[in-house]
Every structure is written in structure tokens, then in C-alpha cells.
């Protein structure tokens, strides 16, 4: 699953919040992000001029089509839907934000999963005109379920287009009640709900006089108040090896190091580590980065680790502290979201990408499938999963893997399945 570079952000104490907008088609996700960028003065004049002249503009008169600030693909502007994940950046005096605009169409759920995999906050938009009777759309349920499975800590429910229902408080309360029932059934412990009009800017950056019955603050103030998620506090060391670095191989003192990015935990010279899955033990002799020798390295750092003796370490291995190793095995249970248009075929072998390791795998059993409409798990002989189905499965791999529950270490608890024939991403999975 992808990560977003934060190198564009200046160093400082201001916390970074990663958020994703989610929900169904036409709920106003792209418009909301465009409005946030515009009202926070994060849009240049030439950008406004360009979208003002765009041939696919869908706002009458001199109005700004804010969706065009994020929907940059020709196909997106032509069809009026988001297809790929678009990342945008802006900052306030209190926070720096990385925003992922996710597609709402069922066909592009895989892109939503990609964007949500690194998010701290999920803003679930709901079109008040389509949910006025309290019935939520399937994609609202699906995206909320995915956010829950991925462990996104902060859920914000933005009930949009309230101007089209005359800011009727009863409609807002009905939708909020329906989402509260959804949250209870899928395991979301708490969420924030607010009424808004993304197009007009009501309750986005500043509070709106059109909703005097709403005593909460606008969306931006809420986002600024949320605590950043500290993902790796106390997490065990997990260092997936990307490649082996060697030079002066003909010398008796040739250099051998293991390059990668620390996924979790902290590493120091002298630490006793174990190479997984082989179980060979060694000590850290040196940690290098950009020709500098480091006193320590932590999650997110890309480094080269030198061990005190030559051992067999290859791409795909994981270095862990000897006192807190990962579990190693070839058989495990997981929850997966099936993303391919071709249904899961238990008779086929798939490629499984876990960290830096690529192996083959078969799905031994589909234990349950989540009915996204009834919000219940269908048990028994489920047999297969179709596109956008979420289910619990049992998987067997050719090679042993160093694994952790996703809730404890996301990097070694997540994987994807790949169709070996088409090279399409077939499923995203989380070990439980």
C-alpha cells in the first residue's frame, strides 16, 4: 500500500494530518476539497483562471467548479466522476494536511483502499438529498467498513448539500441517526457529524448562519483539533530488507549492508536482531544513511544496516529485535477486500506481495462474506468473493512470512493479492 512523501513540508512542530474523503458518487468529495483549498488561500490565481476556462465546467455563470481543482484527468472532467486518487496539500497555522480525494464509484474501490491505507482521518460525505429518508447508499457503507478495517482512528461524517433540503434539521438528525446505527454495527466507536454545503462553503472553513441549530464548529476547525495518530509508539522493530548492498567484493574487508525503510520501532547499534523467517541471530554493528553513521534510526527512516557477522539475508527478509520477533508461518487468516472484476477462484494460485517479499499463495477457504446491504457476515460455504466483497479467508503461501496482526503493525499485517496472468491487484488484505 502506498505512502505519500512529506518532503514538501518544512520542518517544525506543526503536526501532519493525512485525511481521505470518501463516500458515494456525486456526494461532493472533490468539491469539498476544492472549497477547502480555495478558502484556505491554497489556490494560485492561474489555477483559478484555468478551471474558469475549462470546457467541462459544470457550474453556471462565473461560479467556480471546485471539483476541477482535484479532478485532473480528462476522463474525470468529461464524465464528472473521480477515477484515480488525487493528493493535495495545504497548511494552516495549526496543522499541515495531506488530502486524498478518493473515487466514489464502485468500479474504483481499489483506489479508495490505496488512499485510505495511510490516512489518519476519513471524511465520509453523504448527500442529504439522497439520504433524506435515512437510507444510506451502499458505497457509504462500504467505504465506512473499509475505513474501520484499516483502523482509521478519526471518522468525520459530513452531511453535504444541506442547502438543497433548506437546512432542515430533521433531515440532518435522521441521517446522523442512520450513520450511528451503521457505526454501531460495523464497530466504529465514535464519529463526528456536521451539516454543510461544500459548494457554497457553509460550515467548511467558517460557520454558517444558515444552521443556527448546529452548535459545532466548521470542518476545518474540527480537523485542526484532532490529535495526530502516533502509529508506532512502542511498536516492535520491523525492518523489511529491500536489497543487499555490496562493494569491494574481492577484498577481505568487503562491505555488506542491508538497505530498507524501517516500518516500525527503533534500531540502535548493538541491538540483537533476528533475521526472519530464517531465525538467524546477529547484532547491529552500524547504521548508515547518506554516508553518515547514525546513533539510532526509527520508523520511516531509510537506512543501511550492517551486522556484526555475515549471515544469509535477502530481499523480502525482515529484521526484528530478538526479544520481540514477528510470527512466522505459511498459513494464516485474514480479512480481504476483493478488487478484481474476476471473482476469486480458490483453484488458482495468486501472487502475494507482503512488504518486500513476493510469493505465491492460494485461498484455501472463504470463511465469511460481509453483506454490505444487511451489514452482517454470511458464514458457511461462501465459495468465492466478487468485486468489492469483503470477507474472511484462510490463505496458504509457498514461502513462510514474518507477520503481525494489522492492528499492531500495519506494515507486516497488510498484503495484496495479484492476478499472475493479468498483473491486476486482485485483493487487499489485513492479517487478524
- Distance between CA atoms of residues 176 and 178, nearest Å: 5
Task: Identify whether residues 206 and 285 lie together within a single domain.
Answer: no
Q: Which domain holds residue 398?
A: 327-431
Residue 339 within any structural domain of the chain? yes
pLDDT in tens, 299-337: 989 999 999 998 999 999 999 999 999 999 999 999 998
- Distance between CA atoms of residues 4 and 294, nearest Å: 25
Sequence-distant contacts of 176-183: CB under 8 A, at least 24 apart: 177/134, 178/131, 178/134, 178/135, 178/136, 179/124, 179/126, 179/136, 179/140, 179/144, 182/136, 182/140, 182/141, 182/144, 182/375, 183/144, 183/155
Residue 287 within any structural domain of the chain? yes
Give me the count of residues in the chain: 432
90 torsion bin: left (phi>0), alpha (psi -120 to 50), beta (else): beta
Task: Identify whether residues 284 and 331 lie together within a single domain.
Answer: no
pLDDT in tens, 67-101: 555 544 333 334 343 434 567 888 888 888 988 87
> What pLDDT was estimated at residue 414?
92
The residue among 300, 321, 342 that closes a domain is 321
pLDDT in tens, 269-307: 999 999 999 999 999 999 999 889 999 999 989 999 999
Burial class (CB in 10 A: 0-12, 13-18, 19+), 75: exposed
Task: Identify whether residues 42 and 86 lie together within a single domain.
Answer: yes
| pLDDT interval class at 150 (50, 70, 90) | confident
- Distance between CA atoms of residues 228 and 224, nearest Å: 10
> What pLDDT was estimated at residue 94?
87
Contact between 404 and 431 under an 8 Å Cβ cutoff? The reply is yes
Residue 8 within any structural domain of the chain? no
The residue among 303, 321, 339 that closes a domain is 321
32 or 61, which is more confident?
A: 32
Question: Average pLDDT, whole number, for the chain?
Answer: 84
- The total of other beta-carbon atoms located within 10 Å of residue 205's CB is 17
> What does the pLDDT average to over 139-151?
88
Residue 3 within any structural domain of the chain? no
The residue among 321, 345, 361 that closes a domain is 321
Task: Identify whether residues 310 and 335 lie together within a single domain.
Answer: no
Task: Identify whether residues 289 and 338 lie together within a single domain.
Answer: no
- The total of other beta-carbon atoms located within 10 Å of residue 135's CB is 11
> What pLDDT was estimated at residue 62?
53
Residue 182 within any structural domain of the chain? yes
Tell me the percentage of the chain whose pLDDT exceeds 70. Answer: 80
Contact between 316 and 241 under an 8 Å Cβ cutoff? The reply is yes
φ/ψ (deg, to 5) at 33:
-65, -45
Over 50: is that where the pLDDT of 253 sits? yes
Residue 136 within any structural domain of the chain? yes
Angle between helices 138-149 and 109-116 (to 10 degrees): 30
CATH number, domain containing residue 50: 3.40.50.300
Task: Identify whether residues 70 and 43 lie together within a single domain.
Answer: yes
Least confident of 1-15, 120-134, 182-196: 1-15
Task: Identify whether residues 134 and 221 lie together within a single domain.
Answer: yes
> What pLDDT was estimated at residue 87?
77
Task: Identify whether residues 113 and 24 lie together within a single domain.
Answer: yes
pLDDT in tens, 185-235: 989 999 999 999 998 999 999 999 999 999 999 999 999 998 776 555 578
Least confident of 48-52, 97-101, 263-267, 374-378: 48-52
> What does the pLDDT average to over 348-376?
89
Task: Identify whether residues 399 and 350 lie together within a single domain.
Answer: yes
- The tally of domains found in the chain comes to 3
Task: Identify whether residues 70 and 172 lie together within a single domain.
Answer: yes
> What pLDDT was estimated at residue 45?
53
Residue 6 within any structural domain of the chain? no
CATH number, domain containing residue 410: 2.40.30.10
| pLDDT interval class at 423 (50, 70, 90) | very high
Contact between 48 and 54 under an 8 Å Cβ cutoff? The reply is no
> What pLDDT was estimated at residue 167?
97
Task: Identify whether residues 342 and 409 lie together within a single domain.
Answer: yes
Task: Identify whether residues 332 and 253 lie together within a single domain.
Answer: no
Amino acid at each position: 500500500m502506498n505512502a505519500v512523501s512529506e518532503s514538501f513540508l518544512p520542518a517544525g512542530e506543526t503536526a501532519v494530518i493525512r485525511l481521505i474523503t470518501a463516500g458515494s458518487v456525486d456526494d461532493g468529495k472533490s468539491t469539498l476539497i476544492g472549497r477547502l483549498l480555495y478558502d484556505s488561500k491554497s489556490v494560485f490565481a492561474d489555477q483559478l483562471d484555468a478551471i474558469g476556462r475549462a470546457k467541462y465546467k459544470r457550474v453556471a455563470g462565473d461560479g467556480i467548479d471546485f471539483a476541477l481543482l482535484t479532478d485532473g484527468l480528462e476522463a474525470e472532467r468529461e464524465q464528472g466522476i473521480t477515477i484515480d486518487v488525487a493528493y493535495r496539500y495545504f497548511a494552516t497555522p495549526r496543522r499541515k494536511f495531506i488530502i486524498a480525494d478518493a473515487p466514489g464509484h464502485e468500479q474504483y474501490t481499489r483506489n479508495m483502499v490505496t488512499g485510505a491505507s495511510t490516512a489518519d482521518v476519513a471524511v465520509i460525505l453523504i448527500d442529504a438529498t439522497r439520504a433524506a429518508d435515512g437510507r444510506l447508499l451502499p458505497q457509504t457503507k462500504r467505504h465506512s467498513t473499509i475505513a474501520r478495517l484499516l483502523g482509521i482512528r478519526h471518522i468525520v461524517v459530513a452531511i453535504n448539500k444541506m442547502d438543497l433540503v433548506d437546512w432542515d434539521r430533521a433531515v440532518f438528525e435522521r441521517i446522523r441517526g442512520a450513520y450511528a446505527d451503521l457505526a454501531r454495527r460495523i464497530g466504529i466507536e465514535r464519529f463526528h457529524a456536521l451539516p454543510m454545503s461544500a459548494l457554497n462553503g457553509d460550515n467548511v472553513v467558517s460557520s454558517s448562519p444558515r444552521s443556527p441549530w448546529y452548535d459545532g464548529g466548521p470542518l476545518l476547525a474540527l480537523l485542526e483539533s484532532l490529535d495526530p495518530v502516533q502509529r508506532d509508539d512502542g511498536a516492535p522493530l520491523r525492518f523489511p530488507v529491500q536489497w543487499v548492498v555490496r562493494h569491494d567484493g574481492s577484498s577481505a574487508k568487503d562491505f555488506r549492508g542491508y538497505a530498507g525503510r524501517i516500518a516500525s520501532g527503533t534500531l540502535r547499534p548493538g541491538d540483537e536482531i533476528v533475521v526472519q523467517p530464517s531465525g538467524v541471530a546477529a547484532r547491529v554493528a552500524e547504521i548508515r544513511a547518506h554516508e553518515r553513521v547514525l546513533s539510532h534510526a526509527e520508523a520511516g527512516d531509510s537506512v543501511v544496516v550492517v551486522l556484526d557477522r555475515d549471515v544469509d539475508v535477502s530481499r523480502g527478509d525482515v529484521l526484528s529485535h530478538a526479544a520481540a520477533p514477528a510470527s512466522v508461518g505459511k498459513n494464516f487468516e485474514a480479512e480481504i477486500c476483493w478488487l478484481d472484476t474476476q471473482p476469486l477462484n480458490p483453484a488458482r494460485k495468486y501472487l502475494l506481495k507482503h512488504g518486500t517479499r513476493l510469493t505465491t499463495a492460494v485461498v484455501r477457504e472463504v470463511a465469511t462474506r460481509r453483506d454490505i446491504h444487511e451489514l452482517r457476515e454470511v458464514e458457511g460455504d461462501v465459495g468465492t468473493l466478487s468485486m468489492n466483497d469483503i470477507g474472511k479467508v484462510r490463505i496458504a503461501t509457498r514461502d513462510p512470512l514474518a507477520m503481525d496482526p494489522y492492528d499492531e503493525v500495519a506494515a507486516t499485517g497488510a498484503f495484496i493479492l495479484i492476478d499472475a496472468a493479468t498483473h491486476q491487484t486482485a485483493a487487499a488484505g489485513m492479517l487478524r
